[in-house]
Structures are given as C-alpha cells and as structure tokens.
Amino acid sequence: MNIGIPKERRPFEFRVGLTPAGVEALCLNSHVVFVEHEAGLGAGYTDKEYENAGARIVYSIEEVFGRADYLLKFARPTDQELDLIQPGTTFLGYLYLESCPHTAK
C-alpha cells in the first residue's frame, strides 16, 4: 500500500500526520510511505529522520497526493488539497470533536 504524508498548510498548524517511528513500522510491514519535503519540520522531524525510517521524500503536494492510496493528515484538508485527492484514495485524518454538540457533557 502507498501511504502519503503531506505537509500541513493551514496557518499555525505544526503537527504532522505520522512520526518517523510510525513510518518505520509501516515500512517494515512492506508499505511504501511518501513524505512531502519538510512535512515534519514544525513537529521537530527532519526529512533525514523520515528517510532513515524508510520513507521516500517527495517534493510537491501533487506528487504526494498522486502517489498515495492512503493519505494521512492532521488538519482538515484545504480546498487545494480536496481538488488533488485522486478517485479511490482513502483519506485519514483526526477529528476535532470538542465543539460537536454530540460530545457536550
């Protein structure tokens, strides 16, 4: 399976969809992980750490979205990212439920 980790593009968003340790676990299980150049910098992870974990560094948002069967992101996708998602791609992200009326106490 091809997994893409794009750089987060929302203002003040410094998290990343997967750490180098997560990338290593996936790569050790025969998955291919494409990490967009500098995707982890805001979270303190370098491209070299991702490469050492087995990731392939890609240099454009189009490439990471185009190669992925699964996309892992932290923040909700931007309009540009929504336009780049390929048919059949599974998008995995994190939910922000603190303001959801169904989770109110």
- The model carries a pTM of 0.89
At residue 83, what are phi and psi to the nearest 5 degrees?
A: -70, -25
CB-count burial class (<10 Å; 0-12, 13-18, 19+) for 97: exposed
Superfamily of domain 2-103 in the CATH hierarchy: NAD(P)-binding Rossmann-like Domain (3.40.50.720)
Reading the chain (105 residues) residue by residue, the pLDDT tens digits are: 999 999 999 999 999 999 999 999 999 999 999 999 999 999 999 999 999 999 999 999 999 999 999 999 988 888 999 999 999 999 998 866 566 555 555
Cβ proximity of 73 and 91 under 8 Å: yes
pLDDT the model gives residue 94: 80
Do residues 38 and 64 touch, judged by C-beta distance below 8 A?
no
Q: How many residues does the chain have?
A: 105
What percent of the chain shows pLDDT beyond 70?
A: 90
Indicate the Cα dihedral angle 70, 6, 40, 10, nearest 10°: -130
What three-state secondary structure class fits 63? helix
Domain ranges of the chain: 2-103
